[in-house]
Amino acid sequence: MIAVEGGSFMMGATPGQGDDARENEKPAHKVIVEDFLIGETEVTQELWFAVMGSNPSHFKYKDGNYPVENVSWNDVQEFIKKLNEMTGQQFRLPFEAEWEYAARGGKKSTDKKYAGSDDVDEVAWYKDNAGGTTHAVASKSANELGIYDMSGNVFEMMQDLLSAVPNMMYTVRGGAITNPARAYPRVSSRCFYELTVKAHSIGLRLAYKSNHKRE
């Protein structure tokens, strides 16, 4: 887990996102985030197997260092419950504001379009370079905080839920191997799925509320 020092930032369609920003990213607005911890990488198939005793991923590898995918939001809540019982900790999914703040580099942000770079190929596996499959975590460059794959590889589930729709939905961030560069790998991009949806392009990253108090 990577410790992220809290602070304020402009969330959403900031100038660095250019004309690629979508309506659901607007308007950009100021958000204050408290200290928290976030996974250095996506949850891997190895970790999921250690907790759940199975690997539901569409892309299965002998090397467990690939992101787990093909799990629903409901599946993930069960995984987190079991992980917390095993560890005595309080892991959870990140909230959107936390995720975007971390993806942008927190207080070390250099205001990049993607998580750590304006060059998508440097930091992300996406439609044009992934070859139609997921890749080992941390096989691209990290962002300013030393966090990997916040752009591309697999979408990452958020804890945030949208209730003002016919079916309850959750937010995903970060883009995946199925997306072009101008779409979802950007740090402000958002997409929504129903809680039961499973896809080979959707995985997760853990978060944890830090006990550290900022002065």
| Residue among 125, 178, 130 nearest 149 (CA) | 125
Separation between Cα atoms, residue 127 and residue 115, nearest integer Å: 16
Residue 40: which pLDDT band, with cuts at 50, 70 and 90?
A: very high
Average predicted confidence (pLDDT) for the chain = 92
Confidence of residue 210 (pLDDT cuts 50, 70, 90): low
Confidence band of 14 (pLDDT split at 50, 70, 90):
confident
Residues 6+ apart with CB under 8 A from 23: none
Section 142-169 average pLDDT: 89
Q: Which residue has the higher pLDDT, 184 or 69?
A: 69
Phi, psi of 112 (to 5 degrees): -90, 160
Residue 31 has pLDDT above 70, yes or no: yes
Q: Give yes or no for a cis peptide into 27 (omega within 30° of 0).
A: yes
Which of 93-107, 165-179, 193-207 is predicted least confidently? 165-179
Alpha helices in the chain (DSSP H): 45-52, 73-87, 96-103, 120-123
Condensed to tens digits (0 to 9), the pLDDT of residues 73-86 reads 999 999 999 999 99
Is the per-residue pLDDT at 165 higher than 70? no
Q: In the chain, which ranges are E strands?
A: 2-4, 7-11, 29-33, 36-38, 155-162, 169-173, 190-194, 202-203, 207-209
Sign of the dihedral defined by the CA atoms of residues 135, 121, 150, 169, in that order: negative
Residue 161: per-residue pLDDT? 87
User: Quick one: angle between helices 73-87 and 45-52, nearest 10?
Assistant: 70
Record: fold of 2-209 = paralog of FGE (formylglycine-generating enzyme) (3.90.1580)
Dist CA 60 CA 191 (whole Å):
25
Ranges of each domain in the chain: 2-209
pTM: 0.92
Higher pLDDT, residue 98 or 62: 98
Per-residue model confidence (pLDDT) at position 166: 62
